[in-house]
Amino acid sequence: MTITEPLVMGILNVTPDSFYAGSRSNTTQAIEARVGQMLAEGVDIIDIGAYSTRPGAVVVTADEEKARLARATEVIHRFAPNVVTSVDTFRADVARYAVEQLGIGIVNDVSGGTLDPQMFATVADLQVPYILMHMRGTPATMQQLTDYDNVVDDVLRDLRGKLDTLRGMGVRDVVVDPGFGFAKTLQQNYELMARLEEFHSLRAPLLVGISRKSMIYKTLNCTPDEALNGTTVLNTVALLAGAHILRVHDVLAAVEARTLIKLMYNKY
């Protein structure tokens, strides 16, 4: 995956229970409106999630996850058949279905291969770009698994080991994601952000996904609906640290931040 300037990945949640209500698009009409808006705002990648990974989310069967993905991709193919899409899933069989049957081009795995032992072999077989995120446990248990010797060093070590495994299996295009909010305390999230440049030592494109998360709205004593300003601040910090992909709910704000950073610092 050659990335010459930061990309904006827009979140399309075809779920009824994602943590940010404004991102839920679980009807054909809502999907059409959401996709149309993101395209108009300059999105580079549309990331389709059909299974919420927030703590306490309802368990969804693989068949239901596939049906939701099929409904979303049918709409996207009508609107913009050439737009790059990714599938937000930790299930290997869902990833295979999304790539082979729906034409999705990237696999975005929040579990970094820990929740489905077949995931690495599957992406190696599919030969599509893979987003490797750091997480411990499951969405239900992850917030009890925040005991690190040093959160940045430990996350780097975990990602480096998995990168070596993937590369050894022939997976050529891997993007790394520190996993903000997943098995991290509030303070640990900010330690990761403050030392974000160290993740370039992994020699892989870096994705940052902090959009409207609790590290913002709990710190600012607001709600996810009110967390856009904080999101834009941290996305700007991430861009200055060399992030290659911003995963966001609000495409226009991220595109504008990228434009200004490029102009001011002649980055990328």
Distance CA 62, CA 56 (A): 18
Please pick, among 247, 258, 262, 267, the residue that the annotation labels catalytic: 247
Is there a catalytic annotation at residue 91? no
First to last CA, the chain: 15
Distance CA 16, CA 2 (A): 34
Please pick, among 68, 213, 218, 258, the residue that the annotation labels catalytic: 213
**In the chain, beta strands by DSSP E:** 7-13, 45-49, 84-88, 106-109, 130-133, 174-177, 207-208, 245-248
User: 3-state SS of 14-52?
Assistant: CCCCCCCHHHECCCHHHHHHHHHHHHHHCCCEEEEECCC
| Token pair 């081009």 in the structure block, residue | 105
Is there a catalytic annotation at residue 247? yes
Using alpha carbons only, give the angle 67, 213, 107 rounded to the nearest 5 degrees.
40
Distance CA 77, CA 143 (A): 37
**Paired tokens of 80:** 């913009």
**Paired tokens of 153:** 């060093």
DSSP symbol at 115: S
Burial pattern 43-65, b for ≥16 Cβ within 10 A else e, equals bbbbbbbbbbbeeebeebeeeeb
- Show which residues are catalytic: 213, 247
